[in-house]
Structure 1
């Protein structure tokens, strides 16, 4: 059903792209008019639609499994559209069909944009439906309690994936304590088929420790063959982006090739050059706003405009962190008496209060739309920070880090990051660390660009901003 909806939306998008390309071609002043172009387009519409849809189908751009997460479906749309250019161009050339070249070029500029928009809207609709309890799949997890707990925690947190864990099946040798697994343990592996028939899950998910050997797992798969359930196998790795993994079946072995973490790549010159160019351009473009905000802060209570604070940068090096002042002048002196009040947020390392009494009236507005962060563009230009990276930490926060959290310091901190576009101050400390470590280990330039785009939406929504 989802595939049919995507195909119908794609056909509508291509029809719209043809109309847009036709209108643009007919209104280009420097080109002669083409009175027969509408008829030519109508006669070639079937070829264009069939060839383009075939290319999209072949590239995996209509695969419903790729709709919910990851950039792969967007990449497939672009690859499919590139293939469509070749197919349609070859057909038109071999048949010597007269079709306006400006129309052809405009069509293949507008078409992918509309097709990408279809994927964006489809993804948002599917994810929204799943978070509201629709389009969900019942999952039975098989594996040791430790691995089951990790899977349950992830699927419970990422509601938009659409998986509801109904229970677990543990190995006979496992202690099978429900408090360790996080879900009811329905039985052991010897009861697998009976439990699948009784629970009727949509998916059986096998984690590490679910089978004693590969041969045993193959026999289980044989037994599941006639029960019409989906099977998912989760390897014993997590928090890895899709572009770091390649599946390569060799001699019957599903080899998973994984790239090493990318923290060193995040320090390369390309990212730094982008930071310099973008921060310099933004400082120039936003200078009128910077001046207005500075004036409002000063007129608010007559105090200083810029708040300076020591933060910890890459490799633990301290730097002077800049913000527009959003609190009263003695905010740091009053911090100690408020820290205990913030403990109920479940974040024992970061100090954040949604109703912090130290915030000024002007400061509330600045924080809501992150205008207080604008001076950090100077930090980026100086090299203390990056546009995208982990949250810049206070020295007292770093002193409370465990071993894993120290890896956040492997790259420059950022004005924005995964923590910014995923909830900001609403996040717990564990979620903040998890997102920052995911960013450090899976860095890519494309991910930076996507985070910057998502930041604009997060700032306008002002969720978690206080």
Structure 2
């Protein structure tokens, strides 16, 4: 069955990890001999050294397993895998050194062998695993190794999932059947509609069942067990989507305790420290650029201020607190201090406001923006002054997009977004930025609020540096 493709890939990763580790220790031994003429501290010949290392490899693989390096969430996310491999490599060498110290059993003929092995091992593990993942993704693009899925449920999420899976083969899934009413099925997938789950399991080869509503969940789960299939259930309410939840048991009844966000207590302190350090470094590094941008803004349109002001400056952050956002002015001075609706009314084009909102708060050719403004928006230079907002504590380096007051009244899940500080950048920025709709950006922001982690923030910051230089950012 195709669902075994994940198992086979994990076996490949284990083999590659063993080859990487053996190669790393062998190269480290050779480098020590080649680069340093001094004799070894402990006399160990090459064959004995490699043999002793080979005997420790099962322990390395077990350690990698506990570090999550064979979890799908790790090997499908390069940045997440990078951090785990780095930590695992250093930990493994430290354990070997500790064993040598406490048992007086020499494993390394010289200290530099351990240093070389750490660096080379990390590099080879990343190269081997990245190559394997690239091959895996290319096979998925060709439909090889994808798990065949049937989607069950009469709700909009069925349409969303089916359409996304169909157009994104890298998810590792392929839609083989849909049990839902016609209005919940994408037009191009109407032929995959099935009358019941039993019919789909009989007619199609299925590896996975995904249920998007709560109807007959128990029966469908029993069917999945009967046919040895994976079963996914979409949460009935957004709180379950957060990683910050615990299970409490009252009178043998398991209860899910869902927290609004992991950014409470310890997480809040860590994030603030990160903001202060990152904001300070950012201001120091960006000061020359901000000076040049300020001069360019003033020369291009001398009548207006360098920073935008007025109504456009007002934003909302955590706990519905208003603050003034610092941004370089990118529009003509005559539009300064006016809301989007007021500008379109002023130029006699009130009908554009609907198009503007539907298009994710943008126009393909925005008449309000100056030539310099287009350039600084292209590379997000207009947002650099917000580093001072970060230092002040108005916003964070990473978070949901700052809400404009008039948007707040129209958004029904604003209380979730306002549980944390807004961000200079965010998950929505690195997930498509202006190429995705307003509603999609909000859904991504909600996911971030409910699933925050320090590593997620670091990943977003690294990806932001890449996104701003992409053609369609």
CA distance in 2, matches of 1:461, 1:128: 23
Q: Which residue of 1 aligns with 2:330?
A: 326
Deviations 1:386-405 (A, max 9, x none): 11111123233223x23213
Q: What do the CA deviations read for 1:347-380 (whole angstroms, capped 9, x no partner)? A: 4495212322333322232222211111111111
CA 1:72–1:270 in 2, change beyond 3 Å: closer, same or farther? closer
For residues 37 and 301 of structure 1, what CA distance do their matches in structure 2 show?
A: 74
Give TM-score, length-normalised by structure 2. 0.76
- Report if the CA contact (8 A) 1:67-1:122 is conserved: no
Is the counterpart of residue 10 in structure 1 residue 9 in structure 2?
no
Change (3 A) 1:355 1:298: same
Partner of 1:405: 414
Unaligned runs of 5+ in 2: 1-7
Q: What is the Cα deviation at residue 145 of structure 1?
A: 4.8
Residues 407-416 or 298-307, more deviating: 298-307
How much has 1:449 moved relative to structure 2? 1.5
Uncovered stretches (5+) of structure 1, i.e. residues with no partner: 170-175
Matched, 1:306 2:310: no
**How do residues 36-435 of structure 1 correspond to structure 2 at under 5 angstroms?**
39=46, 41-47=49-55, 49-57=57-65, 60-63=68-71, 67-68=75-76, 77=85, 81=89, 82=91, 86=95, 90=99, 93=103, 96-108=106-118, 110-112=120-122, 114-116=124-126, 118-119=128-129, 122-123=132-133, 126-127=136-137, 130=140, 135-145=145-155, 148-149=158-159, 151-152=161-162, 155=165, 160-169=170-179, 177-182=181-186, 184=190, 185-189=193-197, 192=198, 194-209=199-214, 211=216, 213=218, 217-218=221-222, 220-221=223-224, 223-225=226-228, 230-237=229-236, 243-244=243-244, 259-262=258-261, 265=264, 268-303=268-303, 304-308=305-309, 309-314=312-317, 315-332=319-336, 335-336=343-344, 337=347, 340-341=351-352, 343-344=354-355, 347-348=357-358, 350-399=360-409, 401-435=410-444
CA distance in 2, matches of 1:142, 1:49: 44
Closer, same or farther: CA 79–283 of 1 in aligned 2, 3 Å: closer
CA 1:178–1:247 in 2, change beyond 3 Å: closer, same or farther?
A: farther
Q: Does the CA-based 8 Å contact 2:242-2:450 persist in structure 1? A: no
Distance of 2:175 and 2:247 partners within structure 1: 26
- SS of 2:259's partner is coil
Q: What CA deviation, in whole Å up to 9, does each residue of 1:159-208 have, x standing for no partner?
A: 53132323223xxxxxx52203556431124xx1x532322233333455
Residue of structure 2 equivalent to 1:173: none
2:127 & 2:314 partners in 1: Cα distance?
A: 40
Aligned residues: 443
> 1:441: which partner in 2?
450
Q: In 2, Cα distance between the equivalents of 1:14 and 1:277?
A: 36
Looking at structure 2, the residues matched to 23 and 295 of structure 1 have their Cα atoms a distance apart, in angstroms, of 57
1:325 is paired with a residue whose SS is coil
Could you say if the C-alpha distance between residues 48 and 100 of structure 1 is closer, same or farther in structure 2, counting changes exceeding 3 Å? farther
Q: Secondary structure at the match of 2:227?
A: helix
Structure 1 residues 385 and 146, CA gap change in structure 2 (3 angstroms): closer
Asked whether the equivalents of residues 276 and 380 of structure 1 are also in contact (C-alpha less than 8 Å), the reply is yes
Distance change (3 Å), C-alpha of 1:67 and 1:269 = closer
RMSD between superposed Cα atoms in Å: 4.2
Report the secondary structure of 1:140's partner residue: strand
The answer to whether the 8 Å contact 1:398/1:406 transfers is no
Distance 1:83 1:257, change over 3 A: farther
Q: Is the 8 A contact 1:416 1:455 kept in 2?
A: yes
1:417 CA drift (Å)? 0.4
